[in-house]
Amino acid sequence: MSGLTTRTGSTLESRQMRARTALAAILIGALAAGSALAADFDADATINIGSLYEPQNLDNTAGAGQGINEAFNNNVYEGLFRLADSGEVEPVLAKDFKVSDDGLTYTFTLQPSVKFHSGEPLTSKDVKFSIERVTSAESKSSRKNSLKPIAGIETPDDATVVIKLSSRSISLPYNLSYVWIINDTATNLTATEDGTGPYELADWRRGSSLALTRFDGYWGQKPSNGDVVFQYFTEATALNNALLTGSVDIITSVQSPDSLAQFKDNADFTVAEGKSTTKLLLAYNDRVAPFDNVKVRKALARAVDDAKLLKAVWGDYGTLIGSMVPPTDPWFIDLTKTDGYDVESAKALLKEAGYQDGFSFTIDTPNYDPHPIAAQFLQGELAKIGVKVNINVITANEWYSKVYKAHDFQATLQEHVNHRDIVFYGNPDFYWGYNNPKVVDLIKQAEASTTTDDQTTKLKEANTIIAEDAASNWLYLYPQIVVSAKSVTGYPLNGLNAQFFAGGIKKAD
Amino acid sequence: MSESTIIIASVEGKKRRSWTFTIGAIIVGLQVVIGLMTLIWTPFDPSAMSGGRLGAASLVHLAGTDRLGRDLFSLIMIGSRIALTVGSGAIVIGGLIGITIGLLAAFASKTLDDVLAAGLDILIAFPTLLLAMLIVASSDGASLTTAIVAIGIANSAIVARLTRILAKRVLSMDYITASRISGTSWLGVVMIHVLPNIWPTLLVNLALQFGLAVIAEASLSYLGLGAPPPNASWGRLLQEAQATVYTAPLGAIAPGIALVSLVIGINLLADGLRDLADPTRRSRR
């Protein structure tokens, strides 16, 4: 996997965790119906969701940005699997699947009587078409590389898909959760859609809103609302005001703790904190001196009081992390003690590395919050050990071309939103250029594991090594805060891959 | 700015000149003093985390502290220096380039004049910010210098157009022809006749450009295209305060007041200058 997603960048794969809550809500809803309880919510309600992430277009293989996952994943399009709000992978359009003993052949049986919004039935050909769209040369999907082991796709009958792999890939179901199943006759997918999800696209007003309406032919559990409208804002303050005045019901992800004050003590609103996978990183270019020296990287890690930075940016929210793996991943280990804050030992390490007089370097800093403030904080912290930091403010686009593509940087600040993105450290060509053959090998082996336990053990080991190597400086894990009007419940809480499953959202009468 | 000339030019308007010019001069003067003071002293080290997160205004921290606990008043004082530096730099560059090109166009042949005039119109049609972004993008990252150059170049087009029009008006006068016939060189004409006739209007225009340059600098910094951190430009302070505008509104209000007061001060000054320098305007009042 070499793609990644930043908040403003291309595809992002967070929020899938929310699926779980949505599913739970659906189940609870079904139970409630079974016990003949009167519905206390409006089944035809319009849910207005406020977001800062408007998609660039409607195709997640065409660089649409994280907003499209938020609006469309499991709302308009479904995959064979989905990443639930809990972080687990659940089957959706795949009713069942079998893996051959050598782990190289996956046979999927599709859900019967699934219809696309255009009315056509789902067949195995649509699945083949959809996977090949993601792996094609033109595709800009960040998951393209993770699907590389796919050697061929066969469709013996309409309800069966056989995927042949060139090497074992224990994450295949997980990776397939990023693949939207699209009708193979659909065209113009950047502006229209033809999926199987519980909602179909009603209206997209560029720069303003994206309206979805309940699809009556949906194969699964009917959503507990009638319409969902994503309303897009470019500015967080305007978005907060929209919630305060009731023009939106929910904010998918609050980006500043200070704006919460107006909702927290107000009985009309619910503030819910979930778990996010978004990490703020000071990523070094590990290819260039002095960052090719592990002692220097460790010294820099020890010189920065992450807790103080987290407090400055997020107040009482957020979590400290010691590596790239957040607590929601199965291979999480608490590594915050590795290279913990210790200025004296940082100085000693720098001396050992031959930089007793310090050095200076430039941090390429994206121009939006919290990067500039974090950069200034680092400037102050590193000055204490004699390291001079220059701040070069750049735009998101410049970051993409200068840092991500051209690797033309010394160090950079960036928020990494992806779920399970420790694998980026197994790719020596990734922008930060971390190259430890042991880690590359462990990550490769983990993917070829036969059991998840085996995979977890290997990735835990890799996780420990990257922390010991101080491959990057993991500053903190963002909180995921959803704020809603009191009358609205049933929304997903966690920030996995920016998904926001709307099917379970209920609005009180 | 040539106080003696102004007084001579406004014998009868002396009473009227007072308030706009004086108030403007006081505000700008105060900011200049503050800006210069930061070279040797600020209440706190601007990069030191001397207080708590988003501290309220107090006798210790006059404008409170930001998210990192830095003293905002010290940062705003430094912002004053940056605004004035960029403003002065931009009008020096804008003035030099603008007046030169404007005079050149006024003296040039019809064809060259048309080409220059069209060029200036295109440059003026370009928004200052866009031009600045282009300059920043084509240089090695944003800095105080790129901001000054970018704003200066954008200003120069407006100055050049004005200079051209004013100079042409003077050049069409009979006494210029007389002067040329009597053997004055073109440079002599510029120095003796053109510049002394057009400078009052130019000066007022440059003063107004100064105010616009201060705003342009704040806008560029707000967008991350101005002086990079830790240079405490007002625009950047505003940008950083945006995230906390509800809980700590002072963080946005304080640099906002500083910015607005300087621009108002400059505009009052320019207004006063215009009243003093332009006899027709004065008599109309």
* Tens-place pLDDT, residues B11-48: 454 555 558 889 999 999 999 999 999 999 888 888 88
The verdict on a CB contact (< 8 Å) between B242 and A393 is no
**pLDDT reported for residue B280:** 61
Chain A's closest residue to B49, CA to CA, is A380
The verdict on a CB contact (< 8 Å) between B223 and A369 is no
Q: Which of A431-440, B61-70, B275-284 has the highest mean predicted lDDT (pLDDT)?
A: A431-440
On the question of pLDDT at A17 being above 50, the answer is no
**pLDDT reported for residue A109:** 96
pLDDT digits (tens, 9 = 90+) for B59-103: 888 888 988 889 999 999 999 999 999 999 999 999 999 999 999
Mean pLDDT of A440-445: 94
Inform me whether the C-beta atom of residue B142 falls under 8 Å from chain A C-beta atoms. yes
Q: What are phi and psi of A485, to 5 degrees?
A: -70, 150
Distance CA B80, CA B61 (A): 17
The verdict on a CB contact (< 8 Å) between A236 and B243 is yes
* B66 neighbourhood in chain A, CB within 8 Å: 373
pLDDT digits (tens, 9 = 90+) for A445-477: 999 999 999 999 999 999 999 999 999 999 999
Of A237, A261, A313, the CB nearest to B67: A313
On the question of pLDDT at A8 being above 50, the answer is no
Mean pLDDT of B189-193: 87
Give the residue among B199, B245, B135, B207 at the shortest CA–CA distance from A235.
B245
Q: Where are the domains of chain B?
A: 3-51+60-284
What is the DSSP track for B216-253? HHHHHHHTT-SSPTTS--HHHHHHHHHTTTTT-THHHH
pLDDT digits (tens, 9 = 90+) for A273-303: 888 888 999 999 999 999 999 999 999 999 9
**pLDDT reported for residue A245:** 93
On the question of pLDDT at A20 being above 60, the answer is no
On the question of pLDDT at B143 being above 70, the answer is yes
Neighbour tally for A219: CB within 10 Å:
16
On the question of pLDDT at A12 being above 70, the answer is no
Residue A224, classified by CB atoms within 10 Å of its CB into exposed (0-12), middle (13-18) or buried (19+), is buried
Residues 6+ apart with CB under 8 A from B219: B129, B235
On the question of pLDDT at A28 being above 70, the answer is no
On the question of pLDDT at A134 being above 50, the answer is yes
Of A240, A312, A395, the CB nearest to B53: A312
The verdict on a CB contact (< 8 Å) between B248 and A313 is no
Predicted TM-score (pTM) of this structure: 0.78
pLDDT digits (tens, 9 = 90+) for A193-238: 999 999 999 999 988 999 999 999 999 999 999 999 999 998 788 8
Distance CA A447, CA A457 (A): 11
* A369 neighbourhood in chain B, CB within 8 Å: 239-240, 242-243
Distance CA A247, CA A46 (A): 11
Structure tokens at A44: 């035809």
Neighbour tally for A208: CB within 10 Å:
11
Of A255, A367, A379, the CB nearest to B224: A367
Tokens 């003026």: give the residue.
B124
With contact defined as beta carbons under 8 Å apart, do A322 and A338 qualify?
A: yes
The verdict on a CB contact (< 8 Å) between B229 and A372 is yes
Task: Give the H/E segment covering residue A210.
Answer: strand A209-214
Give the residue among A448, A293, A390 at the shortest CA–CA distance from B141.
A390
The verdict on a CB contact (< 8 Å) between B242 and A369 is yes
Of B54, B223, B246, the CB nearest to A367: B223
On the question of pLDDT at A69 being above 80, the answer is yes
Residue of B68, B220, B238 to mutate for A, most A C-beta atoms under 10 A? B68
Secondary structure (3-state) at A248: coil
With contact defined as beta carbons under 8 Å apart, do A389 and A405 qualify?
A: no
Inform me whether the C-beta atom of residue A311 falls under 8 Å from chain B C-beta atoms. yes
The verdict on a CB contact (< 8 Å) between B240 and A312 is no
Distance CA A31, CA A183 (A): 33
**pLDDT reported for residue B15:** 52
Q: Can you tell me the ipTM of this complex?
A: 0.75
pLDDT digits (tens, 9 = 90+) for A476-508: 999 999 999 999 999 998 867 778 999 999 999
On the question of pLDDT at A32 being above 50, the answer is no
**pLDDT reported for residue A36:** 39
Distance CA A75, CA A211 (A): 11
Interface size A-B, in CB pairs within 8 Å, comes to 79
Mean pLDDT of B265-272: 91
The verdict on a CB contact (< 8 Å) between A380 and B54 is no
- The CATH number, out of the four listed (3.50.50.60, 3.40.50.300, 1.10.3720.10, 2.60.40.420), of the domain defined by the range B3-51+60-284: 1.10.3720.10
Distances (CA, A) of A328 to A277, A278, A309, A420, A466: 8, 11, 22, 9, 18
pLDDT band at B134 (very low <50, low <70, confident <90, very high): confident
Inform me whether the C-beta atom of residue B229 falls under 8 Å from chain A C-beta atoms. yes
Residues 6+ apart with CB under 8 A from A240: A251, A254, A259, A262, A263, B246
The verdict on a CB contact (< 8 Å) between B243 and A390 is no
Mean pLDDT of A338-346: 95
Rama region for A113: left / alpha / beta (φ>0; ψ in -120 to 50; rest): left
